[in-house]
Amino acid sequence: MNSDQIQALFDRIAPVYDELNTVLSFGQHRIWKQMAVKWSGAKPGDVCLDLCCGSGDIAQMLAEKVGKTGQVYGVDFSSVQLAVARDRADRRCLKPPIHWVESDVLTLPFDENQFDCATMGYGLRNVTDILLSLKEIYRVLKPGAKAAILDMHRPNNVWVRSFQKWYLDEVVVPAAHRLGFTEEYAYIAPSLDKFPTGAKQVSLANQAGFVSATHYPTAGGTMGVLVIQK
Ligand SMILES: C/C(=C\Cc1cc(O)c2ccccc2c1O)CCC[C@H](C)CCC[C@H](C)CCCC(C)C
Ligand SMILES: C[S@@+](CC[C@H](N)C(=O)[O-])C[C@H]1O[C@@H](n2cnc3c(N)ncnc32)[C@H](O)[C@@H]1O
């Protein structure tokens, strides 16, 4: 899929996105997202960036962490996801208010060395150029700052991998089919098949210039968080 097709896909599924994530992950996605926020090192007063923010779960968690002296920027190229994000955050009257930015994360509209931390949830697997995306994150982070990148992962254990494939094909796609989004959710499995493993992600992060990079598998290896430091 090219970038326009990915953007259109996330525009289309925006109305069902949050609820399906909660149902299909049994609410666990919020725990995985909190892990990424914690490992990004976000603290009160920080200026943080949430890339591929979608409907804004992680940006909201960052806003709670940085408090009213901090700032949070949520970036996504799907205007419909951003509208959902803005609406959800407005209803919570968060302090600080989150700056919602419509942009491609491969060409971020920010100067270099601007952010104290960054997060990305389920975004890296969807960008068309992973190395370029990591280089852009590197460019906008301050020296010493960290980013935590959460995404699905292919587990090493063959039984868990079989379960994951079965779950995606036989639970996720049929659930989405009932809502009219078969193709959109059928895209997850092949995108995961070609997504680099944790070790390869570490190598790409090093290539992008990060001084340290560690991949932490979670949820039996079906998810992973790549933690990188500039
Ligand atoms: C946060 C989740 C999904 C995000 C997501 C990412 C994408 O790239 C998409 C692309 C296209 C359409 C939708 C999405 C999308 O929603 C929720 C995770 C749901 C997973 C499908 C759940 C996978 C669960 C694992 C097999 C392990 C289950 C462990 C559980 C604790 C029992
Ligand atoms: C699976 S959603 C994740 C949303 C949110 N981070 C979460 O964890 O729920 C992926 C998001 O990445 C966005 N995205 C994918 N590629 C992008 C790109 N190149 N630039 C900006 N946003 C992108 C999509 O529009 C979508 O909202």
pLDDT in tens, 6-55: 999 999 999 999 999 999 999 999 999 999 999 999 999 999 999 999 99
Examine the pLDDT at 94 and tell me if it is beyond 80.
no
Examine the pLDDT at 91 and tell me if it is beyond 90.
no
- Tokens 């089919």 belong to 177
Could you read off the pLDDT of 183-196 as tens digits, one per residue?
999 999 999 999 99
- Supply the pTM of this predicted model: 0.96
Which atom from ligand 1 is nearest to the alpha carbon of 171? Answer: 21
- Tokens 């587990």 belong to 155
Q: Please give the pLDDT value at position 102.
A: 98
Domain of 101: which CATH number? 3.40.50.150
Q: Please give the pLDDT value at position 96.
A: 78
Tokens matching residue 29 = 């996605």
Local confidence band at 79 (pLDDT 50, 70, 90 cut-offs): very high
Q: Please give the pLDDT value at position 193.
A: 97
Q: Which residues contact 35 (CB under 8 A, 6 or more apart)?
A: 148, 150, 218, 225
Span 183-211, mean pLDDT?
97
Quick check: CB of 54 below 6 Å from ligand 2?
yes
Number of domains present in the structure of the chain = 1
Examine the pLDDT at 92 and tell me if it is beyond 90.
no
Quick check: CB of 164 below 6 Å from ligand 1?
yes
Could you read off the pLDDT of 112-155 as tens digits, one per residue?
999 999 999 999 999 999 999 999 999 999 999 999 999 999 99
CA 123 – ligand 1 centroid, Å = 12
Cα separation, 53 vs 74, in Å, equals 5
Quick check: CB of 125 below 6 Å from ligand 1?
yes
CA 68 – ligand 1 centroid, Å = 32
Q: What percent of the chain has pLDDT over 90?
A: 96
Parent domain of 169: 3-229
Q: Tell which residue, 91, 103, 92, 140, has the closest CA to residue 118.
A: 140
Q: Please give the pLDDT value at position 95.
A: 75
Examine the pLDDT at 97 and tell me if it is beyond 90.
no
Which atom from ligand 1 is nearest to the alpha carbon of 185? Answer: 12
Nearest ligand, CA 22: 1
Nearest ligand, CA 133: 2
Quick check: CB of 127 below 6 Å from ligand 2?
yes
Cα separation, 48 vs 44, in Å, equals 10
What ipTM does this complex have? Answer: 0.94
Quick check: CB of 138 below 6 Å from ligand 2?
no
Q: Is the preceding peptide bond at 96 cis, omega within 30 degrees of 0?
A: yes
Nearest ligand, CA 187: 1
